[in-house]
Amino acid sequence: MSFENSGTRRPPPMLSVGALAKRSGFSVSAIHFYEREGLIRATRNGANHRRYTRAALRVLAIIRAGQRAGIPLAEIRQAIAPALDGLPLNRDQWGRISAAWRDDLDRRIETLSLMRERLAGCIQCGCLSHDQCPIFNENDRAAAWGPGAHRLGAEAEAGRR
């Protein structure tokens, strides 16, 4: 059954920037930004208006998912590199991207959980003013680990507790 005979309208193969904004939930200015950054591409019609393939919807959805997960734009760009020629990412490509992001998110969730648990106690900053610091950082032993709050950073993950 064809779309024309069924009364169902076929979605346009190309989208205007306004249609892409409406469908993706991004503002027109954000779409222009991602275009300038090379994350999506537009062609121009006879009136010199931008036109985007429907594959741009998937790229924008992946950008949104990555941003919500706190993934830097540079990493998102690297992950979606196969789609930068305007072709949609396939299921296998998305599977590889999401698996890599999942591992990164698991590491960050673990770090954030550790931070949440330790915020009420000494973070081994070296100030020795907190009542509990002599318990957690007796004689400022954290000074040997270098500057910073060691109980909140990567050092904590490495087992320096």
d(CA 12, CA 4): 13
Q: Is the dihedral of CA 124, 128, 129, 130 positive or negative?
A: positive
- pLDDT winner (highest mean) among 9-13, 19-23, 152-156: 19-23
Predicted confidence (pLDDT) per residue in 89-126, tens digit: 888 988 888 888 888 889 889 888 887 777 766 665 65
- Whether 1 shows a pLDDT value over 60: the answer reads no
Q: Does one domain contain both 19 and 98? A: yes
Q: Does one domain contain both 40 and 74? A: yes
Q: Does one domain contain both 15 and 76? A: yes
Q: Does one domain contain both 35 and 88? A: yes
Q: Which domain holds residue 98?
A: 3-108
Q: Does one domain contain both 103 and 124? A: no
| pLDDT recorded at residue 120 | 65
- Whether 30 shows a pLDDT value over 60: the answer reads yes
Q: Does one domain contain both 103 and 132? A: no
Q: Does one domain contain both 19 and 78? A: yes
Domain count, the chain: 2
Q: Does one domain contain both 59 and 137? A: no
Instruction: Identify which of 148, 101, 154 has the alpha carbon closest to the alpha carbon of residue 125.
Output: 148
Q: How many Cβ atoms are within 10 Å of 141's Cβ, its own excluded?
A: 13
Q: Does one domain contain both 123 and 87? A: no
> Can you say how many angstroms the Cα of residue 1 is from the centroid of all Cα atoms in its chain?
40
Q: Does one domain contain both 94 and 21? A: yes
* Domain annotation covers residue 113: no
- pTM of the predicted structure, to 2 decimals: 0.63
